[in-house]
Structure 1
Amino acid sequence: MYDRILVPTDGSPSAEAAARHGLVIAEAFGASVHVISVTGERERDERLAKAQAKDAISHLEELFEQESDLSCQSVIEQGTPYEAILSYASENDIDLIVMGTHGRRGLSRVLLGSVTERVIRLSNDPVVAVPPHAIGREREGYDKILIPTDGSPGATAAVEHGISIAERLEASVRVLCVIEGETGLPPIGDALRDEAVEVLEAVSERASDRDVSLTTHVQPGIPHEVINNFVSAHGIDLITMGTHGRSGIRRHLLGSVTERVLRTSDAPVLTVRQDTG
């Protein structure tokens, strides 16, 4: 599933954390790692910008050399960061992009780094967004993977990714369907609950011939809040979800649930576009 993984870096702790998470996935799939650092076209000090980019790449190259035998190649590009990342991914047949949600400039918890946000919105490849709270957690690998789903094609596209990663890392899978707007679970036989059960059964069927431990869950409430509470309560290490749910939405916009999870989750989030599932 993943042969080439791209890790963008700006030398920030968030970028290093993303690299470590990318390494976990790369080793599981025997993938090669590509590292890219992008200098802006309007840097006040071009020489300094290139030196910082070189240092950022060198740091990750040393990390990979110390912790893995996987091949690594790196490049420094000049231009608009998200455009350079997407262009490199397209030209080099990248299968997965792994990047931090906050770069050097920080940003508050409720906002994604602008580069990461644009990459997620426009990428043809799946993207793992690693938040600051996930720093250090990758050292124990992924034991529990959460796949939220509403049964839409967008959500279904992420199922295979979650199951495949779980299979390679011997992780268990939790599949969660949220009945939106309800304060309690509807009774058995209710149309909403029956629909949720059907959605979960479809995922279970897809995983039936895979060597994965899978459990299903139905919960009521506001989707992104339920997902984040589930992550905390069950010690989830990775969330895999589609960029768009039932509400659809144009390509350059994220579905509201996915966007809110990305902005508030303590766990890395792997987003998958419907046509890349």
Structure 2
Amino acid sequence: MAKYRKILVAYDGSPSARNALSLASQFAREDKSWIKVLAVVPPYQGDLELIGVSDIKEAIAGPGQEMLAEARNLADREGISILTNLEQGEPYEQIVQVAEEENCDLIIMGRRGKNKMERELMGSVTARVIGHTSKDVLVTPEAGKLSWENILLATDGSTCCDNALARALEIAQERKVKLNAVSVVYTNDEFYALGQEVVKELYQEADKVLDKVRKWGGDLGVQTELFVRDGEPHQAINAMAAEISATLIIMGSHGRKGLTRFLMGSVTERVIGYADCPVLICHL
């Protein structure tokens, strides 16, 4: 089933987090999804002997309780019921842990930052959640709206992209929409200097990747429209999304070992950082 039944919203009170809760509310109304909102407060770093335990708890938990109260008010305005949870510790660890313990199948997070550096880095908490969780993660910009009308899958034919392809086809089949798919040939001046034959082979490989999309889509009765683009992958993917007015980008998550958990994949991270629409990252 493509529909997400149990959703965890990571909430920090920012405009993008409020939008994340709004998107979760849409899932709740459309699919009768179960929503839990999680706020994470930092651990106490001071000397426990210098202050009363109750004062410490109140000082640390206070801002988190205020965020959850705000989330409950927003949910009331959206006309949905939510459960709330306040945890203390490293934010990405708590988000991953709660999603696992609650058996959630989707984490929704807001994307913070508008300047170039923030877009490039996307946000360490979001990147680390994606790098460590086994759940699908939906990342939305502050003004992003969720619609199923124009889905764009970005694929390079790798195993993780096959997972994203399977999820994208599930969504397209269940929502009765067409699936657009793009495969990007990474090119620059050096590539063209190697000769047209090399570039031609790269395009042929991209066509093979999209042939799989066509075949899998045909087996499920899903209409597909396929595109090959060249250039810097994240730029080409976001340009493709703008060209077709994509309402959702779907990608796979590259790597879950060692450093790749933190870097997550520069293409994925930069697509999320610059996308104007929500981005769904699918895991194994």
TM-score, normalised by the number of residues in structure 2:
0.81
Match of 2:53 in 1: none
Match of 1:206 in 2: 216
1:42 aligned partner, one-letter code: Y
Match of 2:152 in 1: 146
Instruction: Give % identity.
Output: 34
How far the C-alpha of 1:96 sits from its partner, in A, is 0.8
Deviation per CA, 1:150-202, whole angstroms, max 9, x where unpaired? 11101111112222333444443210011111689x79x94322222221121
Match of 2:67 in 1: 56
2:208 aligned partner, one-letter code: E
Between the aligned partners of 1:155 and 1:87, the Cα distance in structure 2 is: 25
Match of 1:6 in 2: 8
User: Matched residue pairs, number?
Assistant: 262
SS of residue paired to 2:108: strand
1:15 aligned partner, one-letter code: A
Match of 2:279 in 1: 269
Among residues 126, 131, 138, which one is paired with 1:121 in the alignment? 131
Relative distance call for 1:133 and 1:109 in structure 2 (3 A) is farther
Match of 1:33 in 2: 35
Between the aligned partners of 2:15 and 2:7, the Cα distance in structure 1 is: 19
Bigger mean CA deviation after superposition, 174-183 or 89-98: 174-183
1:63 aligned partner, one-letter code: L
Match of 1:110 in 2: 120
Deviation per CA, 1:63-109, whole angstroms, max 9, x where unpaired? 3344355x522111111111111111111111110001228xxx833
Native 8 Å contact 1:7 1:19 kept in 2: yes
Relative distance call for 1:206 and 1:89 in structure 2 (3 A) is same
| 1:16 correspondence with 2:18 | yes
| 1:175 correspondence with 2:175 | no
SS of residue paired to 2:254: coil
Among residues 234, 239, 250, which one is paired with 1:224 in the alignment? 234
Match of 1:132 in 2: 142
Native 8 Å contact 2:127 2:264 kept in 1: no
TM-score, normalised by the number of residues in structure 1:
0.83
| 1:235 correspondence with 2:245 | yes
Relative distance call for 1:55 and 1:117 in structure 2 (3 A) is same
How far the C-alpha of 1:146 sits from its partner, in A, is 0.9
How far the C-alpha of 1:43 sits from its partner, in A, is 7.5
Relative distance call for 1:85 and 1:249 in structure 2 (3 A) is closer
SS of residue paired to 2:170: helix
Relative distance call for 1:53 and 1:264 in structure 2 (3 A) is same
Between the aligned partners of 2:211 and 2:137, the Cα distance in structure 1 is: 26
> Aligned-residue CA RMSD in angstroms?
2.8
1:30 aligned partner, one-letter code: K
Relative distance call for 1:127 and 1:33 in structure 2 (3 A) is same
Structure 2, unmatched stretches of 5+, are: 47-55
* Shift >6 Å, 4+ stretches: none
| 1:101 correspondence with 2:101 | no
Relative distance call for 1:93 and 1:55 in structure 2 (3 A) is same
Relative distance call for 1:199 and 1:65 in structure 2 (3 A) is same
Deviation per CA, 1:39-78, whole angstroms, max 9, x where unpaired? 1113787535533322322333333344355x52211111
